Amino acid sequence: MFSGSRSGALELFGARVYLCVRVVFSVRGIRNMSKRAKKNQQAPADGGDDNGTEPAAKKGKKAKEPEAPVLYEDPPDKLTSKDGRAANMKITSWNVDGLRAWVKKNGLDWVRQEAPDVLCLQETKCAEKALPAEITSMPEYPHKYWAGSEDKEGYSGVAMLCKTEPIKVTYGIGKEEHDKEGRVITAEFSSFFLVTAYVPNAGRGLVRLDYRKTWDVDFRAYLSNLDKRKPLVLCGDLNVAHQEIDLKNPKGNRKNAGFTPEEREGFSQLLAAGFTDSFRDLYPEQTSAYTFWTYMMNARSKNVGWRLDYFVLSAALVPGLCDSKIRNTAMGSDHCPITLHLAV
């Protein structure tokens, strides 16, 4: 019996020691967890990166909400010029990024609602023989003019649709190296020339930057010669964001096509030759006003864009400028249409 009693006492003692050890370590564990939690509550949350994504916030800190995109709201149209005249000419320009696809996306429905006197299109990517019947048969525009690439079918291309027949229509700028790509149509009206252009892109890796610089010089000379005869309106995709205000991310695009120093300087020289950027003339400080958004990364919904489409006026037409519009809610292309109200 003695032996059994001793054994039972030892077992009881061991159990009590085991329980004490468990309690001590449990208390220490709770204290350590408490210290870690307190430390996490005191730590500041990290900031997000430039693309708007935020890292997970540490415990105790509320996650930072992503910033809402800054959108441009096209204000009501102004229909009176600087010198008090009523607008009597409405011109719309749109890079449609493929005419056939744009027609299927109901682009013509928007055109009928906008109802410009002249509609200018760029990057039609369509030979005249393949034009959709929906546009060739439009009764609203009985006078239609098309220019396409001679060498590459489905490349480049411009069009001009008019309610009133122009006095004369010409194609290109008189230089074969440029004209074979179908980039320019010029219509002469009684009091002005209308030029629509799809200016060549410098290309990925700037492989065509040298060609673009040559284009800028030759195109400026062409416009200056026209201006000597009669003032002009130039419209279209000019493939340049002139100033930092004209694109969302200027710092990251200084070496990319459309925002190189050479392309920007080419546009500056065009303005120095006596021409005016109509939108900036009316809205010099307006930010977030873009006409192009890449299809990638939800750029349009975030308004991460570029202003590449312009109405440029001869100095003699500026007093008759009423409004220069960016119709950024119109869908159907990676560009939106722009519209000019002018008193001529």
**Residues annotated as catalytic (active site), given as ranges:** 198, 237
Give the span between the Cα atoms of 305 and 131, in whole angstroms. Answer: 30
Q: Which residues pair with 130 in a beta bridge?
A: none
**205: burial class by Cβ within 10 Å (0-12, 13-18, 19+)?**
exposed
Tokens at 155, concatenated? 């490349």
Three-class SS of 265-290: HHHHHHHHCCEEEHHHHHCCCCCCCC
Q: Which residues, 6 or more positions from 265, have their beta carbon under 8 angstroms from its beta carbon?
A: none
The rounded distance, in Å, linking the Cα atoms of 51 and 87 is 42
How far is residue 118's CA from residue 115's CA, in Å, rounded to a whole number?
9
- How far apart (Å, rounded) are the C-alpha atoms in residues 128 and 182? 12
Q: What is d(CA 62, CA 74) in angstroms, rounded to the nearest whole number?
A: 36
Q: Is 329 left (phi over 0), alpha (psi -120 to 50) or beta?
A: alpha
- The answer to whether the CB of 310 falls within 8 A of the CB of 294 is no
**Sheet with 158-162, edge to edge strand ranges:** 143-147, 158-162, 118-122, 89-95, 338-342, 321-326
Non-local CB neighbours of 212 within 8 Å, separated by 6+ positions? 199, 200, 201, 202, 239, 262, 263, 266
In the structure encoding, which two tokens stand for residue 51, read together? 């693309």
Asked if residue 139 lies in contact with residue 164, where contact means CB atoms within 8 angstroms, the answer is no
